[in-house]
Amino acid sequence: MSINAEEQRLVETARRVLPGGLFGNLLTEIIIREGRAGRVWDVSGNEYVDFLIGSGPMLVGHAHPEVNAVVAEQLARGSTFFTNNEHGILLAAEIVDALPCAEQVRFASSGTEADAVAMRLVRAYRKRSKILKFEGGYHGMSDYALMSLAPPYAGNSEQPIPDSAGIPDSIRNEMVVAPYNDIETARQVIHKYKDELAGVIVEPMQRLLPPIPGFLQGLRDITAEFGIPLIFDEIVTGFRLAYGGGQEYYGVTPDICTLGKVIGGGFPLSAIAGREDIMAHFDRSKVGAEGFLPHIGTLSGNPVAAAAGLATLKILKRPGTYQKLHATGNAVRAGLEKSLGDAGIPAVAKGEAVMFDAFFSNRTTINNYRDTLDQNQAMARRFNGLVRERGILKSDGKIYISTAHDERDVEQAVQAFQQAAAIVADERLTI
């Protein structure tokens, strides 16, 4: 991929004014100028099949005409009001209709905010402070969430490991950690801390690791036994795996879920949704001053984002949409697996059809974070770099599929995988 003078100047400016020259998201200096459907173009005019899709929000593709139309209509009426608005109310109603756990909805602006508020919500409900999360689980950038997201080594107990500088030591005492997909250990930890736990938070599919049979239901059973709220972090999986999210797809209903990405249609919007008796803590008249959880956000329920989200959900509800989405993803995944297999590269693809990637590992089974620690990271980075050079934009850890991706996109991706795999196979001894 070539870079022109304009993009080079922007890269140099970014290096001067941004820490590390980046926003802190994708670790590449590619500067994207525009996107349409399943493709994007950088400032130099290079075209990419986009398997990043904004890290997930653009499930119906970039610049979808139906989404753009409602956004333009709302912009002409105003951008934000800090009051209830029609689009936000209707979006909340759609969420309640769609998700098994949702009886009421509270909007926020980011996944980090929604997850942090959900944890605070169950603390208010249970009047206890500890939260159980799972090793390798991502729940945003709050101090509580950045515990054992990516520990450099596998812990031997439920004591969490901070992932960032600047987190108070006291936070470690408020979080408990267990390995994902290990229901027996989870049961033991929950039983041990049952009188201290405010809630359990889990991604129904943790990053790219699907739940093994019985894991989510086991969590549901043990938390219900002790009256501990179960939170599904569906920032990523909500409206992606199925219209009813991971809870519909895997057939397990939590007490609370968090949503983001898809529901904003490309604009900043997130939500907490769940049981009415728990959500009542946002209403002082229901719980009194001691139980009340104040939550204010300047852009929460923003009408532009809500309009974009409603239009996106309308598109997703059409017959055949999810069948096509899964079929496209299965074709891309099959091409990835075959390319690596034909090249003799040890790797295993994990995830679901709509969101997956390859782990470069000799393991045949990868079920939790600890199983990923021996992945050949250098080989993965090299492969992903070669794929980007061939016009496929993806992160170093995930392929997102959109409804806008078509046969031409699949064909180009598979060809790029084949070429990249062949080069990596030749270089393997030097990596």
What is the set of active-site residues?
138, 233, 261
Q: What is the pLDDT of residue 297?
A: 95
Note whether 99 and 313 are within 8 A (CB): no
Query: Is domain 5-63+319-430 given the CATH code 3.90.1150.10 in the classification?
Result: yes
Q: Which residues contact 173 (CB under 8 A, 6 or more apart)?
A: none
Angle ∠(347,350,355) on CA atoms, nearest 5: 130
DSSP 8-state secondary structure symbol assigned to residue 396: S
65-316 has the same fold as 5-63+319-430: no
Contact predicate 203/215, CB 8 Å: no
Please compute the mean of the pLDDT values over residues 258-281 and round it to a whole number.
98
* CB 308, CB 119: distance < 8 Å: no
CATH fold for domain 65-316: Aspartate Aminotransferase; domain 2 (3.40.640)
| Cβ atoms of 106 and 117 closer than 8 Å | yes
Average pLDDT over every residue of 303-317: 98
Per-domain residue ranges of the chain? 5-63+319-430, 65-316
User: What length does the chain have?
Assistant: 431
Q: pLDDT tens digit string along 320-362?
A: 999 999 999 999 999 999 999 999 999 999 999 999 999 999 9
- Kindly state the average pLDDT of the residues 54-78: 98
Give me the pLDDT at residue 126, please.
Answer: 97
pLDDT tens-digit map of 129-182? 999 999 999 999 999 999 999 887 765 568 888 999 999 999 999 999 999 999
Q: Give the N- to C-terminal CA distance of the chain in Å, as an integer.
A: 23
